[in-house]
Structure 1
Amino acid sequence: MNKFEKLKVWQESLVLVQKIYTLSGRLPRSEERNLIDQIKRSTVSVSLNIAEGSGAENDKEFKRYLNVAKKSITEVQATLKIIDFLYNIKVEEVETKALEILKMLNGLIKYLKRKSEN
């Protein structure tokens, strides 16, 4: 098992990927090259940055990847707002999962920061 696979935040990011792929199937086909591609890419980016960062040489580099993952999850959140606004598709469950992951990322970053200060 890889280091990233043990991280709860990475495991939860996979759940989010699944939810986003399901949600994207409810959007009009006209959004296939727009919102659908965008939200899928940003969601997968969260998982990939967590995984890539977990293999970093040091905590400082790991934090950098986690911060990129935070930016991607924020992009997911913004795209969900747009989907709700344009198509009135209820996205609360997915928004809740995205917020949970954001909080987990913040917590892991704070932990790594405290660890490096000691």
Structure 2
Amino acid sequence: MKVEKFEDLIAWQKARELTKAIYHVTAEGQFSKDFGLRDQIRRASVSVMSNISEGFERSSLNEFHQFLVIAKASCAEVRSQLYVALDAGYINEITFQELNQQATEVSRITGGLRVSISKQRS
């Protein structure tokens, strides 16, 4: 399948699923009342999909590569904040594992796309 728009990218699709899951879990219970952490993890997850889409629409592979670097770093930020949520008791171990696995998958796919783009720019 030819990628013609950012919505075609598996990395973006998976990032969208992660963001939806993050919004869902942060809308419940004590997590919803911790405005700082709630907003930060939401911004980080949105940053992943936003950077993938913005990078795709940029005019050069170098710029796309840089935006993918940022998206991957935002995945790490989401994962780190999930530990905070777990330690604070906002999410249980099962939810933590599921979301952490999702974030890890997005990171892996984004990293693979980054490597592919890097090879194309050489």
Task: Give the TM-score, by structure 1 length.
Answer: 0.91
Q: CA deviation at 1:27?
A: 4.1
The unaligned stretches of length 5 or more in structure 2 are none
Aligned match of 2:97: 92
The one-character-per-residue Cα deviations of 1:35-86 (angstroms, maximum 9, x if unpaired) are 1000101100111100000011111100011111111111100000110111
Aligned match of 2:81: 79
Aligned match of 1:15: 17
SS of residue in 1 equivalent to 2:117: helix
1:3 to 2, 5, 20: 5
Aligned match of 1:37: 39
Q: CA deviation at 1:112?
A: 1.0
Letter in structure 2 aligned against 1:92: Q
Q: How many residues align?
A: 116
Is the contact made by 2:48 and 2:72 (CA closer than 8 Å) also made in structure 1? yes
2:61 to 49, 59, 62: 59
CA distance in 2, matches of 1:6, 1:88: 34
Is the contact made by 1:27 and 1:36 (CA closer than 8 Å) also made in structure 2? no
Aligned match of 2:71: 69
CA distance in 2, matches of 1:40, 1:30: 13
The one-character-per-residue Cα deviations of 1:75-98 (angstroms, maximum 9, x if unpaired) are 100000110111162311111110
CA distance in 2, matches of 1:12, 1:98: 9
The unaligned stretches of length 5 or more in structure 1 are none
Task: Give the TM-score, by structure 2 length.
Answer: 0.89
Is the contact made by 2:29 and 2:90 (CA closer than 8 Å) also made in structure 1? no
